[in-house]
Amino acid sequence: MARRSHDVDAEGRGNLDDAESAELQSPGYEIFIALLSILSIVNLVLIYAIDDEALNYVVLSVNIVVSVILFLDFCLRFWRAPSRSRYLFRQFGWADLLASLPLMQLKVLRVFRLVRVYRLLTEYGARNVWRTVVKERAGSALLLLLFVAILVLEFGSVTMLSIEKSAEGANITTASDALWYTIVTISTVGYGDQFPITNYGRILGVVIIILGVGIFGTLTGWLANAFLSPSHDEAAEAAAAEGGAVPAPSPGADPLDVRLVRLEQLARLSTSGVLTEAEVASAKAEILSDR
């Protein structure tokens, strides 16, 4: 039977057993996938609730983008799973695969992933989730902005088309017009070949512009941080150099002294941000369990 941990601070993974700990990706990533799953189910409802071919075309177009992301998520989980058969049949991998296909009727299967994510995050612990998201705030913010961009693309296009298509002299009259306008506006390119002519359409355009500036500004900052920040090895060397490196234990040293030295080294790596809290807790438990 898989070992289950009940000591959050010692293990750093809440009440997850070994298989669940291997299944859990970054909490920020799991929340992102859960939000996409909810959006997929909402889109399924919209397809039947909206009696307009052009608006449905916008929803279906965004559904293709979401389906690609969900398929990549399935491939990642399948590749990283310690037991692929367990993932497919016991962790609802089959539902992930079917729900990633660009068929609206299958999106209801995302409910299985929602249930799974809720269970994993609940057993991981709210405090651990919050600490990990804050620790990995750059990556979590990037995923959140990606989800916001998808929302703006879909609902910005649907709303703009609803406002503009019946206006006299409008040039945003089809689904492709609305999608094109929203994409070039989010990206702050603004070709000017499509533009709103109504007051409400222009107000919506301003909102899309502001969101686009925020999205791409944050993306630029994330990329700069990713390329300019020191690597884990460089950070480890800096942490060791700061205040003097921790001396290595001599051969034949007392096992307790060896563990104390390793714990001090681990504390330096944690302080410098080289290791996440979960990694520190796992390494600490391993050190303390050595005999």
Per residue, what are the HEC states of 105-155? HHHHHHHHHHHHHHHHHHHHCHHHHHHHHHHCHHHHHHHHHHHHHHHHHHH
- In the block, which residue shows the tokens 């019946």? 166
Same domain (yes/no): 150, 59: no
- The average pLDDT across 240-246 equals 48
Express each pLDDT in 199-218 by its tens digit.
999 999 999 999 998 888 88
Q: How confident is the model at residue 237 (pLDDT cuts 50, 70, 90)?
A: low
Mean per-residue pLDDT, 246-272: 67
- Residue listed under structure tokens 């919050």: 130
245 phi-psi bin (left φ>0, alpha ψ -120 to 50, beta other): beta
Q: How many C-beta atoms surround the C-beta of residue 79 within 10 A?
A: 9
**Considering 135, 165, 194, which residue would you say is the last residue of a domain?**
135
What domain count does the chain have? 3
For 246, the token pair is: 């921790």
Average pLDDT over the chain, rounded to whole?
Answer: 80
d(CA 24, CA 14): 12
Task: Calculate mean pLDDT across residues 231-245.
Answer: 51
**pLDDT higher than 70, residue 58:** yes
Residues 131 and 83 in one domain: yes
pLDDT in tens, 262-291: 788 777 777 766 677 777 777 777 777 765
List, for residues 1-39, the tens digit of each pLDDT value. 444 444 444 445 556 655 566 667 788 899 999 999 999
The answer on 109 and 72 residing in a single domain is yes
| Domain span at 246 | 233-289
Cβ neighbours, 10 Å, residue 2: 10
Both 53 and 116 in one domain: the answer is: yes
CB-count exposure of residue 126 (10 Å: 0-12, 13-18, 19+): exposed
Which of 108, 135, 162 corresponds to the end of one domain? 135
